[in-house]
């Protein structure tokens, strides 16, 4: 059986272990947490928008560079063909006039 002293000890220990309503005032409520969640959602949304804009800018820059590179390579291919054609003409002319070429 429990004595009065045992009950008093249990009550004293309970006060030290269990929180009172006054103790719980310091903790965040559901409304507090919802407000924090909304603020975080707004910040994350803003960050996502800025990232999307920067990704779009980078994509456009890479696309523009690729177009320039493609035009450059096409131009080089045309010039290579032109140079090869001119070298063939030079060889033919050199053969006809008796000059060694190359």
Query: Domain count of the chain?
Result: 1
| pLDDT, tens digit, 9 for 90 and up, residues 34-68 | 999 999 999 999 999 999 999 999 999 999 999 99
| pLDDT, tens digit, 9 for 90 and up, residues 71-80 | 999 999 999 9
Domain annotation covers residue 7: no
Q: Are 94 and 100 in contact (CB under 8 A)?
A: yes
Domain annotation covers residue 53: yes
Q: Are 90 and 100 in contact (CB under 8 A)?
A: no
Domain annotation covers residue 83: yes
Domain annotation covers residue 20: no
Domain annotation covers residue 10: no
Kindly provide the residue ranges of all beta strands, DSSP E only, lying in 1-102, ordered along the sequence. Answer: none
Domain hosting residue 60, numbered range? 28-97
Q: Are 102 and 91 in contact (CB under 8 A)?
A: yes
* Closest to 84 (Cα-Cα) out of 70, 96, 64, 102: 102
Residue linked to tokens 């060694």 = 100
Domain annotation covers residue 36: yes
Domain annotation covers residue 12: no
Domain annotation covers residue 8: no
């Amino acid at each position: 059986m429990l004595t009065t002293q045992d009950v008093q000890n249990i009550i004293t220990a309970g006060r030290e272990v269990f929180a009172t309503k006054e103790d719980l005032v310091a903790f965040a409520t559901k409304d507090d947490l919802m407000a924090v969640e909304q603020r975080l959602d707004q910040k994350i949304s803003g960050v996502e928008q800025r990232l999307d804009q920067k990704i779009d800018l980078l994509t456009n820059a890479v696309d523009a560079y690729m177009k320039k590179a493609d035009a450059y390579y096409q131009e080089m291919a045309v010039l290579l063909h032109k140079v090869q054609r001119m070298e063939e003409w030079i060889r033919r002319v050199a053969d006809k006039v008796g000059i060694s070429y190359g």
